[in-house]
Amino acid sequence: MRIAILGAKRTGKTHLAQELAPLLRSTFAQVAVIPDAWQALRDRIGDDPLNEELWVAANAQMANVLQLPEDTLVLCDTPPLLAAVYSDVMTGDPGLYHQAIDQHRAFALTLLTGMDLPSDVAGTPSPDTGIRSQIDRRLRQVLVENRIEFSIVYGSGPTRTQSARQSILRVHGNVPDTPRSNWQWTCEKCSDAACEHQLFSALISGA
């Protein structure tokens, strides 16, 4: 089973992948983490690459995902769909979506890391907070519009990791579905993951 981990910058994607892997080895015989291709480039050139080099690296990352045996649980940290969203938001170029969305359908579930973590260690909003919010909103729109199953991950530390683990186990069939409680959408900035998931599910079913 293949799991994608997506989210805006500094939402804990890489940390979540690293923390999830050992927890899931009690359920899955083989667990593999495919690292973030974007981070590898950023470490080398010291900037956020929104260019052909990034797309080549992202495609190589997907090739690594697809070559693993089917019985392996694959955690893919920041697959190519995020590059497509950044290209759209930052440069106004939506041209990467078609291929990125086709590639993304290889994943059984997308874990979308929420924006509830501090954007830096001091907890002070960074200058790119507005961009991060735009990326977060666009990611959700793209996932909904393309009927891609996703689960929003909130919380910190073990709470965040366990939330993600439960979502994976539900898709795998090891945990029965939890009855959904009634809810009321009271704020467009609601941070209740169950509430948001129901909202997006309703949008998908009504599309």
- Between the CA of residue 5 and those of 84, 116, 206, what are the distances in Å? 15, 16, 26
The sign of the dihedral angle between the CA atoms of 78, 80, 83, 84 is: negative
Q: What is the pLDDT of residue 204?
A: 44
- Between the CA of residue 123 and those of 1, 81, 120, 160, 204, what are the distances in Å? 35, 28, 5, 18, 34
Residue 180 CB-density burial (10 A; 0-12 exposed, 13-18 middle, 19+ buried): exposed
d(CA 8, CA 50): 14
Q: What is the pLDDT of residue 149?
A: 92
For domain 2-206, the question of CATH label 3.40.50.1370 is answered with no
pTM recorded for the entire structure: 0.78
Q: Which residues pair with 152 in a beta bridge?
A: 112
Q: Nearest Cα to 57, choosing from 43, 70, 71?
A: 43
DSSP annotation of 21 reads H
182 contact partners, CB below 8 Å, separation of at least 6? none
- Between the CA of residue 30 and those of 1, 5, 84, 140, what are the distances in Å? 10, 18, 30, 30
Which portions of the chain are predicted below pLDDT 70?
42-51, 118-128, 174-207
Q: Which residues pair with 153 in a beta bridge?
A: 113
Grouping H, G, I as helix, E, B as strand and the rest as coil, residue 185 is: coil
- Structural domain boundaries in the chain: 2-206
Q: What is the pLDDT of residue 178?
A: 42
